[in-house]
Structure 1
Amino acid sequence: MEITQDAVRRVAALARLAVSDDEAEHLAAQLTDIIGYAELLQTVDLTDVLPTSHPLSLYNALREDESRPSLPRDIALANAPDDDGEQVRVPAVLEG
C-alpha cells in the first residue's frame, strides 16, 4: 500500500499540523515503508506461537506490607520551610 502526499496532507490538516511539500513527500515515503513492513509481518506463520502480552516473563518484585514505626512528627517537620506544628504548610496552587 502506498501512502500519497495528499493523504499525508489530509491527516496533517486533521491534526492541525503545517506540512510543507518536501515534508509531505518525505513522510509519504516513510509511511509507505512502515505500512510495507507491517504487511510483511502479516505473512509470518504464527500457528505454533502462543499469544502473549509481553515477550519476557514478568514477576511482581514488591515486598509484603509490614507495619513498622513511622518517623516522629517533630523530626519530619524539622526541615519543613513552613509548618503549623502538625503539618507542612504549602502555598495555595488553586485559584478561587
Structure 2
Amino acid sequence: MSKFQEIISGDTPVLVDFYAVWCGPCKMMPPILKEVKDKMGDAVRIIKIDVDKNQKLSAQYGIRSIPTIMLFKNGQALWQQAGVASADQLQKVIKTHS
C-alpha cells in the first residue's frame, strides 16, 4: 500500500486500472492502455491493480465495479470512471489534468 502511495504522489499523472483476471471487460483495457502509453510516453504512468489481490486498496478507493480507471497526480484522485474507456477519452482526461 505504501508503494502505491509513493507511485501516485509524483508530479506525473498516474492512470490506474483496477481490474480482475476473471473480468471480461477488463481484458479489453490492456491494448487501450498500451495505445495511450505509446502516444503519451513519459507524460503519464500507467499501472494495473488486481482488485482480488489488493482488496484493502480497492475498498479504500470505493471500487465497486471493474474495470475502474482512476487518474492520480500529487497523491490526489482527479478523475474516475467505471467501465471500459477509449484511448482518446483517456488521453483527453490526462491532458486536462496535466
TM-score range, shorter chain: under 0.3
Compute the TM-score of the two structures, normalised by the length of structure 1.
0.21
Larger Rg: 1
Task: Flag the structure with higher helix content.
Answer: 2
Q: Which has the higher contact order (CA 8 A, sep 6+)?
A: 2
TM-score under structure 2 length normalisation: 0.20
**Which structure carries more strand by proportion?**
2
